[in-house]
Every structure is written in structure tokens, then in C-alpha cells.
Structure 1
Amino acid sequence: MSEQQLSEHRHISFTAHYTGYMWYLMGISHPAFATKKGKWLTTLLHPLEVWSERFIGGSIRRTLTQRHVLIDEALLKLIEAQPDIQVIEIAAGLSPRGWSFRRKFPELRYIEVDLPDMAKAKRDALDKAGQADAEVMAVDLFTPEIRKLFEKLDSNKPVVVISEGLVNYFNKDMLAQLWGALADHGKAFPKFYYLTDLCPEPVNHRFAQVVWKSSQLLRFLSRSAFSFHFTSPQEVKDFFKDCGYEKVYIEQPSQSDKTEVEAHIGDFVWFVQATIENSSL
């Protein structure tokens, strides 16, 4: 990959170390995904996390748990309903999801994707975790290389793309480019699903300004365009449909059941499942 092909949105890997170590502490990961840098970041942020949970009612680690569980639940349902589904996790970082689901479903086609340095780190970690044959790809999603995600897949089988902790690092133009490209390629398959989390604007919360200030710090540290884009579920649905998706389901962690809530009820993270069905295939 040439330097000219690299997008400007590639300096966020430090968050992968933090989340990777948090998943390890949660008992859902393998020690191979827990780095020294992740341990250092987790130790550094622990006092802030404790304060945040006590006084704000939320924290990074709580948000991590909520989004991870919601995505896992949705993916499990898709696999159980369509055992031949093919899985691509973009910006996979040091997430244990691929490792975990390949253990549960040995025949599952699960491809993990990230930028070159992180992809190499993930390959090394998977090797240590006993999955040297796992599929890991180095792809910059904001270049024409994105087509490589789909080239080796079976066009007669459904596909699901997953992203976690990614959406808010890009501005809306970049999101439209990414989600639109995924939709364009997804239309070549009988069914295409996109599972993601996103952080809505922190409205309806008494500490909204604190959350805003924290997000600006993260934007600086990650050298990214980290920001909030949506204030209501309908805004999210409209945006996805403009990108080419047909059905959009949104779940907020504090809603009482799986019935969608039209208003923003104060959660720091939402789960989204967007779907395209190709009836001609």
C-alpha cells in the first residue's frame, strides 16, 4: 500500500489497546489481546472511570460492555438463522469477537480487517491465541481497496459487516462514503447486514457538557474527527437510507424491550442494524 493511498483517518489505534485490555479484564478475551500499552491506559483511566460511574451514571467501560453485548447478540441471531452467513469485522483492532465466534462456530467465515500495523498485531495475537489460520486483512476503508473485503466471498451467501467503536471518529461526509461503499458492495449478495454502535449527541443528560469536553479530549488524543452526529433515532435511519440501506433497527440499552423507542432516552451508545435484501438473487 503506497503512502498516497492512506486516508487521513488512520491515527486511532491507541484506543484499540485500551478496549482490548478492557475486554480482557471483562473475562471475554484471550491474554494475547491484552497489551502492555492497554494495561497502562486502563490503569491511567481507572480513577476517572470510577468517578464517572458514580457521578455521571456512565463510563467508557460501561459503554464498552453495552455495545459489545448488543452486537454479539445480534450476530449470534444472524448466525443461528443463517448458518452460511459470511462475517467481516472492520476496524477489528484487538477485539476478541472473531476469536470467540470462530471457537463457537468452527465453519464460520469470519474476516477481520484493520490498517496494516494493527492488522499485523492482530495476526500475531491470533497466532498466540491458537488461531494462526484466522483471516486478517490490511485495508484502508477510505480507499478503493475496500472492494477487497468482498472479492473472495461467495456471492450466493449472505454477508454481515460489523464495526464497533468506529463511527464517531469520522465526520458525516466520511460516514456517508464508508456506509455508501459498504451498501454498494453489499447489494451483490442475497442479504447484507451492517451491525454497528454509535454515540449520539449527549442530550437529555445533566452532564452533557462534561461528555462534550471529554469527547474533545479524545478527538485530540486520537488525532481524528471524533464527534457526535445524531440526536434522534430517526436522524440515524434517514442517514442510513440515504446511503442505500432499506431497513434500519436501532436499540438503546435502557429501553425496556426490543421494541424501538423513537426518542433519545439518554443512553451514551446505541446499537444499529441496517439491512439490504436483494430479491433478484
Structure 2
Amino acid sequence: MGKTRQRIPHSALYTAATWKWGGLPCADIVLPPGAKGIFRLVNAYLFLYRLLNPQKISLKHNLLHRHALIDALLRRSSCRQVIEIAAGFSPRGCMVSADTAYRYFELDLPEVVALKREQLESTPEGRAILARSNFTLLEGDITRLDFSSFAAVPSFVISEGIMMYFKREAQMAIWRNIAKFIRAQGGEYVFDYIPIDDEPPRSRPGQWLSDLRHRLTNPPPPFAYDERTRQDVAADLIEAGFSQVEAIDTRMVARSWSLPHAAVPTRTIIYHCRCR
């Protein structure tokens, strides 16, 4: 998926519409223009794709389970400062900051932050969220994030839906930066990343359709996947400075964690990292 004229990735618009479809709190308040159209178009393509590739997991359910599982981890955490990196149009900050016990920071690239702020300013509910003293939208780049501007308290750091775009070397630099902050202040780090061997195999007709789409459109560069397994990724996180890493498979916990549409099989791997 490419970008809009505002340089907003189509993937961010699709994800925002998924939160709305899934009925997540505040999702309608931050839904940007054009997201519903992208959602319908992509789902139409995916319907055809899954006919040719029946083992493919439902994208909208996968994204919904990913988000809901991270929400559940946040509810279980004792951290009251939340830093969501590459937040996009996530409704999580709007929802969580309704509780004044939390201090919520959302960071993303300038064009994303500007559009999200514009969307919030367009409704009374959104303006009320922007007026909260415990909710802050910040411009920031995950590859050059300076944590010194945040309070020195235990923090729950989230980077949802972004790590698959970076090669291992860039991931390691990001993880070292976050681990250094959490070692000093305490807290937890949560992100998603699906190793290639956890992806369902693609059928020959499915590969043909994917190749045809690439020839007819101008898609963004593919995800920067490599041959690492879940265990390899966990070992890299330990090397980066975390002392405890848990890999949670949404397929295994959907029912026990009461994720929405729990009967639909998904496979997103959430890494939950701590420093002792």
C-alpha cells in the first residue's frame, strides 16, 4: 500500500479503519478521511487473494488482535507513563488518557501528527481530548528518539506495526535505545514482529496474484524480513539490553485473553520485554 497526497501511508489508513470496524473506543474520533475507502478496496483484494491462498490469515482480524493484546498488556502493567511510538491513528491514547492517572505521549512523523491533530480538532470530542493535560502529540522519529524529554518514571513503551519495516541492524539500534531508557527508569516495552517462518505458506496462485499486483501498481518496498525465528528475535532483544523477553502468539491466547472475534484464527507475535 502506497501513500496519500498528504504522504500518509495507505497501511495507516487501513489500520485506522480496522480499529473503527472492530469497535475500539475512540476509533471513530481519530479516523482520517479516506480510510473507509482504502479499507473496502483492500478487503476486496484480500477476498480474492484468500480464495487463491486459503491459508492466508485475515488481515483485519490479525490487526485487531494485535492491538487488543497490547491493550491487555497495558491494563496489566503498573506503569502510568505510556510512550507510543509511531502511533499513527491509534485510538489507544485517546482512550487511556481519559484516566487522569495516566500520562500518555503519542509520537509519529510530522505529517501524521498534523493530520491526527486536524482530525481531533474537527469534533467537540476530539478537542476535549487535545485539551487534556495528560495527553500529548509529539513529532518524533523512532530511529532518532531522545528519551530525555520524558519524565524519569517507569514507562510502558509501545511500537506497534512498525518494526517489520526495519532490517536487523536498525532494529537493534532502536531496541538498544529503548532498553537503555527502561533500564534507567523501569518499565516495559511491547511491539509486534512476525518471523517469516510464522507466516503461512503462499500458494502458487496466491504468488501469481501478488506478482500481478506488483506489476500493475506501485507498492512500497516489502517488509524487511529475514530468516530469524522467534527465538532469534528474543536473543537479539537480550543482546540489546533487555533481561526478560516473552513472545506471545495471538493464536494461542485469543480466547483466554478474551480478544475480540476470538474464534477467528490469527497469528501475530507480540514481544513483551522488561529489564530487571
Distance 2:56 2:239 in 1: 34
The one of 230, 249, 254 equivalent to 1:252 is 249
Equivalent residues in 2 for 1:47-86, closer than 5 Å: 47-52=44-49, 55-78=54-77, 82=78, 85-86=80-81
Equivalent residues in 2 for 1:9-24, closer than 5 Å: 13-24=9-20
The 10-residue stretch of structure 1 (166-175 or 124-133) with the greater mean CA deviation from structure 2: 124-133
SS at match of 1:162: strand
SS at match of 1:168: helix
**Count of paired positions:** 246
TM-score (norm 2): 0.79
* Aligned residue in 1 for 2:261: none
Cα deviation digits, residues 128-148 of structure 1 (max 9, x gap) = 3231133011012223xx11x
Q: Which has the higher contact order (CA 8 A, sep 6+)?
A: 2
* Aligned residue in 1 for 2:200: 205
* Aligned residue in 2 for 1:124: 118
Cα deviation digits, residues 135-171 of structure 1 (max 9, x gap) = 011012223xx11x44231x2x211110111110111
Cα deviation digits, residues 233-260 of structure 1 (max 9, x gap) = 21121010111110000111222669xx
Identity within the alignment, %: 24
Quote the offset at 1:52 in angstroms: 4.9
Distance 1:116 1:186 in 2: 25
> Partner amino acid for 1:89?
E
* Aligned residue in 2 for 1:140: 141
Distance 2:158 2:57 in 1: 24
Q: Please tell me the root mean square deviation across aligned C-alpha atoms, in Å.
A: 2.8
* Aligned residue in 2 for 1:165: 161
User: CA 1:221–1:48 in structure 2 vs 1: closer, same or farther (change >3 Å)?
Assistant: same
Quote the offset at 1:229 in angstroms: 3.4
The one of 12, 27, 31 equivalent to 2:28 is 31
> Partner amino acid for 1:199?
I
* Aligned residue in 2 for 1:261: none
User: CA 1:68–1:200 in structure 2 vs 1: closer, same or farther (change >3 Å)?
Assistant: same
Quote the offset at 1:122 in angstroms: 2.0
User: CA 1:142–1:51 in structure 2 vs 1: closer, same or farther (change >3 Å)?
Assistant: same
Quote the offset at 1:211 in angstroms: 7.7
Q: Which runs of 5+ in 2 are unaligned?
A: 1-6, 258-264
2:198 and 2:267 in contact (8 A); partners too: no
SS at match of 2:90: coil
2:87 and 2:106 in contact (8 A); partners too: yes
User: CA 1:112–1:59 in structure 2 vs 1: closer, same or farther (change >3 Å)?
Assistant: same
1:186 and 1:276 in contact (8 A); partners too: yes
Determine whether 1:96 maps to 2:96.
no
2:155 and 2:187 in contact (8 A); partners too: yes
Distance 1:202 1:214 in 2: 19
* Aligned residue in 2 for 1:6: none
Q: Which runs of 5+ in 1 are unaligned?
A: 1-10, 259-265
Distance 1:36 1:75 in 2: 29
1:52 and 1:58 in contact (8 A); partners too: no
Determine whether 1:273 maps to 2:272.
yes
